[in-house]
Structure 1
Amino acid sequence: MELEGVDVEPGGQLDFQAVLAQAQKMQEQLFAAQEQLAHVEVTGTAGGGLVSATVNGQGELVGLVVDPKVIDGADPVETAETVADLVLAAVREASRQAADLQQQTMGPLAQGLPGMPGF
């Protein structure tokens, strides 16, 4: 197993100080990336913008807006089903965007970890 930037001592032994230093650096980078993701928001919409869902970069739903035009007082059952479908679609879109953002942010870091698949 080769680790970038880690020396192998004579006799094939790894320089454990270098391994520990590299692991600490990678951990700091991962924490920084997670912190960055916590402060980034993406929005998914459905129904031509009638419903929008906002998700942070960690995938947490942080906002939901339903345009009053979606509400049809004459048919509350149909309205409830429509709103539910639109909310679900908007949340899925926002979650997909958050997952893409996570991949862009965390993927390169995870590729440097031995035994860790990329996201």
Structure 2
Amino acid sequence: MEPGGGQNIQQMLEQAQRMQEQLVTLQRELAEAQVDGSAGGGLVTATVNGQSELIKLVIDPAAIDTNDPQDTAETIADLVVAAIHNAAEEVQRLQETKMGPLTEGLGSLGGGIPGGLPEL
């Protein structure tokens, strides 16, 4: 072992601990986040949390055509699926935005060891 090598390992362990704490904080923030997705020009709005769980669904009464209930039901079903899909995409973007800086930091964990850490 090189002189001072223990210090490098200690620094790596401290950095890993800080990153773990950041990850827990980010996971909590994402779980509490609420994201909206919509379809049909806002006729249907889906709200999901950061874990992609549907927590609210709003259908504008303007989406309902009482003269054609069969077509209206099919259209609303399609709009609901599209709104939920849109909200899930927004959650994905939010996760990438929040987690990006943390995952970029993972590359620096091996910096204190000559040659870094091997690829996993």
TM-score range, shorter chain: 0.7 to 0.9
Q: Paired residue for 1:3?
A: none
Task: State yes or no: 1:10 paired with 2:2.
Answer: yes
Alpha-carbon distance between aligned partners in 2 of 1:21 and 1:107, rounded to the nearest angstrom: 20
Name the SS of the counterpart of 2:56 in structure 1. Answer: strand
Q: TM-score, normalised by structure 1?
A: 0.77
> 2:48 aligns to what SS in structure 1?
strand
Q: Over aligned residue pairs, what C-alpha RMSD do you find?
A: 2.2
The alpha-carbon deviation at position 23 of structure 1 amounts to: 1.3
Q: Distance in 2 between matches of 1:99 and 1:85?
A: 21
1:63 aligns to what SS in structure 2?
strand
Return 5+ residue gaps in structure 1 as ranges: 1-8
Provide the residue aligned with 1:46 in structure 2: 39
The residue aligned with 1:84 is 77
1:41-72, Cα deviation, whole Å (9 max, x unpaired): 12111112110011222322211111122222
Q: Higher helix fraction: Structure 1 or Structure 2? A: 2
Hey, what's the Cα distance between the residues in 2 that align with 1:112 and 1:60? 28
In 2, the alpha carbon distance for the partners of 1:113 and 1:12 equals 23
Hey, what's the Cα distance between the residues in 2 that align with 1:82 and 1:12? 68
**Counterpart in 1 of 2:89?**
96
Which of the numbers 20, 27, 35 marks the counterpart of 1:34?
Answer: 27
Matched residues, number: 108
- Quote the sequence identity (%): 53
Greater than 6 Å deviation, 4+ residue runs = none
1:90 is paired with a residue whose SS is: helix
Scaled by the length of structure 2, what TM-score is found?
0.77
**CA separation of 1:12/1:78 partners in 2, compared to 1, >3 Å: closer, same or farther?**
farther
2:62 corresponds to 1:69: yes
